[in-house]
């Protein structure tokens, strides 16, 4: 906020950040679900320096670099299926926007000019640039720009806590996935290039993980109607849920994937759109150039950092423990639910966990908007030295409160205990304020 005075951070180490006043913060948000291997990691600093000693910038239409080539090779080895073609960019928004452009170009190079729409879901966030925002089902972030945006969000999310059909999976027969088929028929598959979705909904929904077979249905519908499937793994990719690709949990391989955040783990701005052989074949046989890119795309400095981050994940077998840590932390959050009636739902996958906050647990009634409960919790937690991430919630994407708990994947059991303790103190203060009526909620 322009009127806010932010603490100045002096340094970070592991899961902690320290400000200039000497105050310590447990970073249970990994910044913005980004610092996946924690702060101040020596190996990454060394890789940065080593690359800087050689060259920090070259331009991608003139040269390539060892760092970029090695990173592309590494990513293709780490990913399932034929996901072999990396296009490096600098942010998650650029990655989803490039994925969108690749999908449209794929059909054009096959001689089909009409397939230009990218369908998406409500309660989603794919980035802030105009193409990425067009795909985002995030009403408050769209609001100012609506006349300039395409109407890409068309279907409900798999939001089981607030199922639009009032059903439960799997008895629901995955009606929310089948909405995609209805929308495709209404719009016409000849107009649609791709469907994009986050495997676990992040900022827009507060870590909403889908029921088991959801993505199998989605992929089948896409294939049936000749529509590419883009997975937005900007938040989930490279280990956040315990797998390199969150889609792997459900046995689904996308045609194009967008990565960001954890790819550089906050040490450098780097992201990527990664396409399969199938998507690249007509482009390689046609124009031989993907119509996207930025001055700093594939710059050696960021590529060297990302390569060091991915090596670090592998060498230290970080992903092996994500599931166990996630289960432990989720259980602790469930325990808090039994103590605080305003916790409506605890959800998520791996170390991408969400808590939805409600005025009335029985009716799932959200807190009134004007009480800005998410912002209050974030602030109270920060005062106590705990960083958690704000998220949207609610079926309309407007009337709901949620926070995301997403500590570095390297967090220890003792640090998780401290996290839960700080969160409990935060909720206790919030509860006291509610009861005293000092926060204006009652
Ligand atoms: C799923 C998802 N996609 C895209 C983005 C946009 O990434 P960036 O903020 O790096 O542009 C975000 C950011 O939060 C995200 O969570």
What are phi and psi for residue 339, nearest 5 degrees?
-100, -25
Residue nearest to atom 4 of ligand 1 (CA): 126
Ligand 1 nearest atom to the CA of residue 32, by list position: 14
Indicate whether 441 pLDDT > 70.
Answer: no
Check whether 154 has a pLDDT greater than 90.
yes
Question: Would you say the CB of residue 262 lies under 6 angstroms from ligand 1?
Answer: no
The residues near 348 (Cβ < 8 Å, ≥ 6 apart) are 200, 207, 209, 326, 330, 354, 404, 405
State pTM to two decimals. Answer: 0.98
Instruction: List, in sequence order, every beta strand (DSSP E) within 42-130.
Output: 83-89, 117-121
**Cα 415 from Cα 427, distance rounded (Å):** 18
Q: Which atom of ligand 1 is nearest to the CA of 271?
A: 10
Residue 46, pLDDT score: 98
Closest approach atom of ligand 1 to CA 93: 11
Ligand 1 mutation target, pool 92, 202, 354, 391, most atoms within 8 A of CB: 92
Please identify, by atom number, the ligand 1 atom nearest to the C-alpha of residue 233.
Answer: 1
The whole-number average pLDDT for the span 192-212 is: 98
User: In whole angstroms, what is the distance from residue 123 CA to residue 158 CA?
Assistant: 10
How far is ligand 1, taken at its centre, from the CA of residue 346, in Å? 22
| Pocket of ligand 1 contains residue 126 by CB under 6 Å | yes
Cα(333) to ligand 1 centroid in Å equals: 25
pLDDT band at 442 (very low <50, low <70, confident <90, very high): low
Segment 286-308, tens digit of pLDDT = 999 999 999 999 999 999 999 99
For residue 439, what is the DSSP state?
T
Question: Which ligand 1 atom is at minimum distance from the Cα of 94?
Answer: 11
Reported as a single tens digit per residue, the pLDDT across 108-134 is: 999 999 999 999 999 999 999 999 999
Mutate to test the pocket of ligand 1, among 196, 197, 261 (most ligand atoms within 8 A of CB): 261
pLDDT at residue 440 is higher than 60: no
**In contact, 428 and 383? CB cutoff 8 Å:** no
User: What is the tens place of the pLDDT at every residue in 156-197?
Assistant: 999 999 999 999 999 999 999 999 999 999 999 999 999 999
Question: Does residue 260 line the site of ligand 1, with CB under 6 A?
Answer: yes
For the Cβ of 332 lying below 6 angstroms from any atom of ligand 1, the answer is: no
* Centroid of ligand 1 to alpha carbon of 87 (angstroms): 16
Residue range 231-246, pLDDT digits in tens = 999 999 999 999 999 9
| Distance from the alpha carbon of residue 95 to the mean position of ligand 1, in angstroms | 9
Residue pLDDT, tens place only, 41-75: 999 999 999 999 999 999 999 999 999 999 999 99
Q: Which of 31, 123, 125, 196 is the pocket-test mutation for ligand 1 (most atoms within 8 Å of CB)?
A: 125
- For residue 73, give every residue at least 6 positions away whose Cβ sits within 8 Å of its Cβ, in sequence order, or none: none
Q: Which residue is closest in CA terms to ligand 1's atom 8?
A: 92
State in Å: Cα 378 to ligand 1 middle.
Answer: 20
3-state secondary structure of 149: coil
d(CA 233, CA 86) in angstroms, rounded, equals 14
In which region does residue 81 sit, left (phi positive, over 0), alpha (psi from -120 to 50) or beta (all else)? left
Instruction: Please tell me if the CB atom of residue 235 comes closer than 6 angstroms to any atom of ligand 1.
Output: yes
Mean pLDDT, to the nearest integer, of 266-285? 98
Give the pLDDT score at 398: 85
Give the pLDDT confidence of 13-39 residue by residue, as tens digits: 999 999 999 999 999 999 999 999 999
Q: Tell me if 349 CB under 6 Å of ligand 1.
A: no
pLDDT attached to residue 6: 96
Ligand 1 atom closest to 91 (CA): 10
Strand order in the sheet with 83-89: 83-89, 271-276, 256-259, 228-232, 192-197, 117-121, 153-155
């Amino acid at each position: 906020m322009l009127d806010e005075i932010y603490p100045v951070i002096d340094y970070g180490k592991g899961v902690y950040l320290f400000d200039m006043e000497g105050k310590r913060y447990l970073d249970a948000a990994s910044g913005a679900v980004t610092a996946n291997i924690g702060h101040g990691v020596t190996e990454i600093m060394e890789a940065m320096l080593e690359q800087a000693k050689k060259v920090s910038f070259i331009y991608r239409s003139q040269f390539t670099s060892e760092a970029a080539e090695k990173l592309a090779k590494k990513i293709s080895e780490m990913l399932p299926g034929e996901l072999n073609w990396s296009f490096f960019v600098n942010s998650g928004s650029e990655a989803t926007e490039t994925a969108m452009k690749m999908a449209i170009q794929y059909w054009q190079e096959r001689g089909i000019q009409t397939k230009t729409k990218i369908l998406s879901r409500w309660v989603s966030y794919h980035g802030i640039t105009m193409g990425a925002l067009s795909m985002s089902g995030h009403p408050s972030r769209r609001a100012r720009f609506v006349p300039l945006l395409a109407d890409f969000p068309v279907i409900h999310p798999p939001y089981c806590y607030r199922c639009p059909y009032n059903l439960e999976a799997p008895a629901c027969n995955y009606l929310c996935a089948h909405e995609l088929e209805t929308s495709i028929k209404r719009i016409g598959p000849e107009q649609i290039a791709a469907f994009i979705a986050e495997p676990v909904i992040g900022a827009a929904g507060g870590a909403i993980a889908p029921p088991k077979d959801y993505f199998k249905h989605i992929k089948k519908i896409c294939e049936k109607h000749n529509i590419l499937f883009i997975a937005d793994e900007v938040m989930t990719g490279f280990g956040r849920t315990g797998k390199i690709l969150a889609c792997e949990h459900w046995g689904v391989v996308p045609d194009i994937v967008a990565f960001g955040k954890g790819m550089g783990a906050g040490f450098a701005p780097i992201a990527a759109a990664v396409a399969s052989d199938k998507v690249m074949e007509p482009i390689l046989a046609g124009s031989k150039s993907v119509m996207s890119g930025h001055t700093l795309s594939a710059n050696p400095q960021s590529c060297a950092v990302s390569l060091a981050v991915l090596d670090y994940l592998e060498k230290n077998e970080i992903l092996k423990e994500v599931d166990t840590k996630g289960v432990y932390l989720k259980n602790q959050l469930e325990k808090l639910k039994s103590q605080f009636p305003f916790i409506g739902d605890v959800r998520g996958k791996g170390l991408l966990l969400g808590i939805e906050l409600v005025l009335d647990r029985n009716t799932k009634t959200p807190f009134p908007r004007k009480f800005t409960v998410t912002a209050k919790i974030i602030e109270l937690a920060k005062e106590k030295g705990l960083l958690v991430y704000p998220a949207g919630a609610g079926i309309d994407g407007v009337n709901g409160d949620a926070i995301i708990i997403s500590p570095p994947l390297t967090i220890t059991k003792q640090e998780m205990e401290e996290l839960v303790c700080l969160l409990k103190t935060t909720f206790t203060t919030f509860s006291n304020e509610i009861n005293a009526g000092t926060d204006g909620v009652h």
